[in-house]
Amino acid sequence: MKVCAVILAAGSGRRMNVGRNKVLLKLEDQSALMRCLQTFASSGLFAEIVVACRPEDRAVIEQKVADHLPDAAIRFCDGGSERQYSVREALRLVPEDVEIISVHDAARCFVTVPVIERSVRMAEEFGSGVAAVPMTDTVKRVENGIVESTLSRDGLVRVQTPQSFRAELLRKAHAQAEEDGFLATDDAALVERLGCPVHVSEGAPDNIKLTVRQDLREGARILRGRSGGMRVGTGFDVHPFGEGRPLILGGVDFGCDRGLIGHSDADVLVHAVMDALLGAAGLPDIGVLFPDTNERYHGASSLLLLAEVGSCLRTRGFRIVNIDCTLILEEPRIRPHAEEMQQNVAAALGIAASAVSIKATTAERLGALGRREGAACQAVCLLAGGGSGA
């Protein structure tokens, strides 16, 4: 589906009170807005990104985008006096053939690709996907400093952005709100008014909105947690060739009748990637996780196992920075299929395809691999986080 993002940067940051629009404040090396745009652009999910900004901020923002994201399809519009009006202005720039629109506050600059992807996928399937996290605090209604009642925490969530919707649903919700003079602080509220179900997708505790000054300190902590604690992992796998087996590498079926022998689909590339990821996370290897004594894994698609590894890392708070693989085999030629393999691996892990690199080399006819008796793969990966950033 054609998906477009709307990034809202047209506020003034009154509550932050730093004398300028808070989304232009630098956190470490980047402004909040540029951090958001980088994450959205690198996700590979969006055909186009529309940024709503104030006319007085526009020249600075356009220059930064030209310098740092020259290849991204990013357009700009003037925002409105309220957040909702900024969304409305941006919707005018979203092309008619876009099917899913993801609205995101630039002030939520610690958003990660998995959070964005879950919101978009939910909207593709159900029409809406609003990032949310469970309530952990007890919530009370207070009047004049006195507790009136305690709300049950059951069924309460804190909503975030991105909030993704089928385009026609979001446009209709905004048109209706405009007609009724209804104003809300998020887009889901406008869709709820139409009586349409709003689905929630898994957000992240770190996906905070920079609102008051204290959030800058929390933001610095989040970034420290991400840049520190990098972990590297390596994986290696080898499988022999055999007649009458399909050859599957990186989830791509090469259509040969001489493929790799193994308990699962013997996808040597995906196996090496899984071991690199598990190694980096300090977890047991795939032999322990997916033993070949378990019938469930007989003939299993390794991409499904890879997705399991991905979610295992996510729940431990790891973010995959990048993966680099080298296949070692005499034939067939890999390069024509490398992009598809790269996309398969990235999709299984919910990361950007640009974070996965796949290349191949021959063994120069040396040894068993050189005699075409088998194929091997080595993989290296880098993980960030561990305890945050999911």
Taking CB under 6 A as the rule, does residue 263 contact ligand CTP? no
* CA dist., res. 113 & res. 110, Å (int): 10
Start-to-end C-alpha separation, the chain: 25
The entry of Mg ion, ligand CTP, none that residue 82 binds, CB within 5 to 8 Å by partner kind? ligand CTP
Q: Which of 48, 62, 78, 82 binds ligand CTP (CB under 6 A)?
A: 82
According to CB under 6 A, which one of 43, 86, 207, 388 is a site residue for ligand CTP? 86
Among 10, 277, 348, 380, binds ligand CTP (CB under 6 A): 10
Tell me the two tokens of residue 270.
């995906």
Residue 188 found at the interface with ligand CTP (CB under 6 A): no
Among 345, 354, 352, 348, smallest CA distance to 379 is for: 345
**Two tokens at 127?**
């029409």
User: Helix, strand, or coil here: 288?
Assistant: helix
Q: Which is nearer to Mg ion, 156 or 212 (CB)?
A: 212
Nearer to ligand CTP by C-beta: 52 or 329?
52
Q: Does residue 78 bind ligand CTP (CB under 6 A)?
A: no
Task: Show contacts with ligand CTP in window 199-218 (CB under 6 A).
Answer: 209, 211
- Return the number of the residue (23 or 356) whose C-beta is nearest ligand CTP: 23
What is the secondary structure of 86-153 as a DSSP string?
Answer: HHHHHHHHS-TT--EEEEEETT-TT--HHHHHHHHHHHHHHSEEEEEEE--S-EEEEETTEEEEEE--
Pairing of the two strands 128-134 and 157-166 = antiparallel
DSSP code of residue 22: G
Under the criterion CB under 6 A, does residue 172 sit at the interface with ligand CTP?
Answer: no
From the number of C-beta atoms within 10 Å of its C-beta (0-12, 13-18, 19+), residue 193 rates as middle
| Three-state SS at 206 | coil
What phi and psi values does residue 154 have, to the nearest 5 degrees?
A: -60, 130
Segment lying near ligand CTP (by CB under 6 A), choices 67-75, 82-90, 223-231, 355-363 = 82-90
Residue from the set 2, 15, 140, 371 that interacts with ligand CTP by CB under 6 A: 15
Q: Of these partners, ligand CTP, Mg ion, none, which one is at the site of residue 106 (CB under 5 to 8 Å by kind)?
A: ligand CTP
Which one of the spans 78-86, 173-181, 306-314, 363-371 is the region binding ligand CTP (CB under 6 A)? 78-86
**CB closer to Mg ion, 11 vs 350:** 11
Q: Round to whole Å and give the CA distance between 90 and 106.
A: 14
The strands making up 200-202's β-sheet, listed across from edge to edge, are 74-78, 48-53, 3-8, 100-105, 157-166, 128-134, 200-202
Q: Among 3, 6, 11, 43, which residue sits at the site for ligand CTP (rule: CB under 6 A)?
A: 11
Stretch that binds ligand CTP, among 8-16, 114-122, 128-136, 357-365 (CB under 6 A): 8-16
- Closest CB to Mg ion among 56 and 125? 56
Per CB under 5 A, contacts with Mg ion among 278-317 are none
Least distance in angstroms from the C-beta of 42 to ligand CTP: 19
For ligand CTP, which stretch binds (CB under 6 A), given 15-23, 93-101, 163-171, 282-290? Answer: 15-23
Return the closest-CA partner of residue 46 out of 65, 66, 68, 72. 72
**Which residues between 9 and 38 bind Mg ion (CB under 5 A)?**
11
Contacts for 116 with CB less than 8 Å, ≥ 6 apart: 39, 40, 43, 45, 102, 104, 162
Q: Cα 230 from chain centroid?
A: 18
Query: Cα(190)–Cα(171) distance, rounded to whole angstroms?
Result: 10
Q: How far is the CB of 133 from ligand CTP (least distance, A)?
A: 17
Question: Which stretch in 60-68, 74-82, 145-153, 246-254 sits in contact with ligand CTP by CB under 6 A?
Answer: 74-82
The DSSP result for 292-357, as a single string, is TT-GGGTT--HHHHHHHHHHHHHHTTEEEEEEEEEEE-SSS--HHHHHHHHHHHHHHHTS-GGGEE
Name the minimum Å distance from CB 306 to Mg ion. Answer: 41
**Site string (211-250) toward ligand CTP, x via CB under 6 A:** x---------------------------------------
Instruction: Indicate which single residue of 29, 67, 81, 155 sits in contact with ligand CTP (rule: CB under 6 A).
Output: 81
* Residues found near Mg ion in the complex (CB under 5 A): 11
* Residues found near ligand CTP in the complex (CB under 6 A): 8-16, 22-23, 52, 79-83, 86, 105-107, 209, 211
